[in-house]
Amino acid sequence: MGLQGDEETKMMRRKSSIFRYNSPLVQVTLIGLVCFCCPGMFNALSGMGGGGQVDPTAANNANTALYTTFAVFGILGGGIYNILGPRTTLFAGCSTYVLYAGSFLYYNHYHHQPFALTAGALLGVGAGLLWAGQGAIMTAYPPADRKGTYISLFWTIFNMGGVIGGLIPFILNYHRGATTAAASVNDATYIGFMIFMLVGTLLSLAILHPSRVIRDDSSLCTSIKYSSISVESTEILKLFLNWRMLLLSPAAWASNFVHCYQFNNVNGVLFDLRTRGLTNMCYWTAQMIGSLVIGYIIDFSFKSRRVRGLVSVGIVGLVGTGIWVGGLVNQLKYSRHDLPKRLDFKDNGSEFAGPLVLYFAYGLLDAMFQSTVYWIMGALADDSETLSRYTGFYKGVQSAGAAVAWQIDTHKVPFLAEMIANWSLTTLSYPLLAVLVVLAVEDDNQTDQERTFQGGCSFTSNTFFLI
């Protein structure tokens, strides 16, 4: 009876430990909420096509500046995060999102690009800092056998920002859709985005240093409390010769390269103003569904972790091929020099359904693809220092691809050429990801747990309740 009571006490303590402030679950949830408010709203703004403007030129140029600086500071972001810690890094990063949304509010009145370009460049710096920290938290904090679940949790919360962000322009521009099919969103839309982004900036101060986050097995996420510029500079340079990162690079490049085409030349071209808010909601809802589906497969489909990784890559490859075939069929119906009439969800019901399903499918694929890539990165190491560098490198290469994509669109490259380039790049990455899983992912989960204890130390059960 005494032994049974002890077991019940341990189980109750373990359950309650999940919701303590310094648990991986709470910290991943918090970074999800931060990204819900900042990049989630940014995604909704970008997803409207042209940043909500009739002419996408200003948004394209701002995004080119954004992703150029993002490419640099994405790579540097991991080192900066390791030196400054999460609160300073994340707060500085989040604050730039507010400025970016404000620049389009300014552009709505004055149509001067320099402010938008400057805000875009500064956002690239901030986004590099934010996403390096986010990647370290999401991939390093969870236990090895539940990383897919935690990635899905983050992705669901984060993309709820895109859903709510799509609802804002849908409601505020509802009565403008049918009569002004080609129009810029109103001021209230940008102000709504800015309010959410400000909340996210303040919420970033609630994130704990990784040395204070304790898993349910009593292990620290990391025992290193600080780093130095020399150490981080050396480690970042090594990434360019790291064969794991080289195999990951095509997937990183492709992952955001597709967004310009999908946002501007599918959503922005096919749908009118108010309908783009609705389709945006569907796109980011699909992201939530896609991350949950692939997260379950990654963590629970097979006993072998390596097999789960290979199956996930295979499923994403098959689904992706089918979706891009549908994209090709859709793209053959119009071109940059033969634009279709913009569809309205109320006035063009039968014509609206097919493009909506395609845009929904693009969101589904994006989440499945990126969740799988993040899981693979998370399986390559188990400490936040290393993973902040890995995810920073990933975001840097990803942003370089995005910078090129936005500038390609600015130079009026044919829609079909953009679509084929997107399909080719994602297809190229699938076999390389499979090779990375085979060569670099440990098949025994215990290996990661042992690695965790080498860098940390054991704690009594009372530690579960410390903050």
> What is the spatial distance between Cα 239 and Cα 242, in angstroms, rounded to a whole number?
5
pLDDT digits (tens, 9 = 90+) for 208-255: 888 888 887 777 776 655 678 888 889 999 999 999 999 999 999 999
User: Distances from the Cα of 274 to the Cαs of 64, 186, 225, 268, 281, in angstroms?
Assistant: 26, 11, 49, 11, 11
The total of other beta-carbon atoms located within 10 Å of residue 376's CB is 26
Phi, psi of 214 (to 5 degrees): -120, 130
Q: Is 304 left (phi over 0), alpha (psi -120 to 50) or beta?
A: beta
pLDDT over 90 percentage in the chain: 49
In one-letter notation, the amino acid at residue 123 is: L
> What is the spatial distance between Cα 219 and Cα 203, in angstroms, rounded to a whole number?
26
Pick from 103, 98, 116, 90: which is nearest to 42 by CA?
A: 98
The total of other beta-carbon atoms located within 10 Å of residue 19's CB is 10
The total of other beta-carbon atoms located within 10 Å of residue 90's CB is 32
> What is the spatial distance between Cα 110 and Cα 130, in angstroms, rounded to a whole number?
30
Convert 262-271 to b/e letters by CB count within 10 Å (16 or more is b). bbbbbbbbbb
> What is the spatial distance between Cα 200 and Cα 66, in angstroms, rounded to a whole number?
20
The total of other beta-carbon atoms located within 10 Å of residue 454's CB is 11
Low-confidence ranges of the chain (pLDDT < 50): 1, 3, 9, 13, 54, 179-182, 445-467
In one-letter notation, the amino acid at residue 336 is: R
pLDDT digits (tens, 9 = 90+) for 168-195: 777 776 765 554 444 566 788 889 889 9
Residues 6+ away with beta carbon under 8 Å from 300: none
Q: Choose the CATH number for 22-465 among 1.20.120.430, 1.10.10.10, 1.20.1250.20, 3.40.190.10.
A: 1.20.1250.20
Contact between 381 and 390 (Cβ < 8 Å): yes
> What is the spatial distance between Cα 286 and Cα 457, in angstroms, rounded to a whole number?
41
> What is the spatial distance between Cα 448 and Cα 147, in angstroms, rounded to a whole number?
12
> What is the spatial distance between Cα 337 and Cα 40, in angstroms, rounded to a whole number?
32
E strand spans, 5-65: none
Tokens at 167, concatenated: 């609802």
> What is the spatial distance between Cα 74 and Cα 79, in angstroms, rounded to a whole number?
10
Residues 6+ away with beta carbon under 8 Å from 459: 214, 218
In 141-185, which ranges are continuous DSSP H helix?
Answer: 147-172
> What is the spatial distance between Cα 285 and Cα 305, in angstroms, rounded to a whole number?
28
> What is the spatial distance between Cα 57 and Cα 230, in angstroms, rounded to a whole number?
40
Provide the pLDDT for residue 113: 85
Provide the pLDDT for residue 463: 30
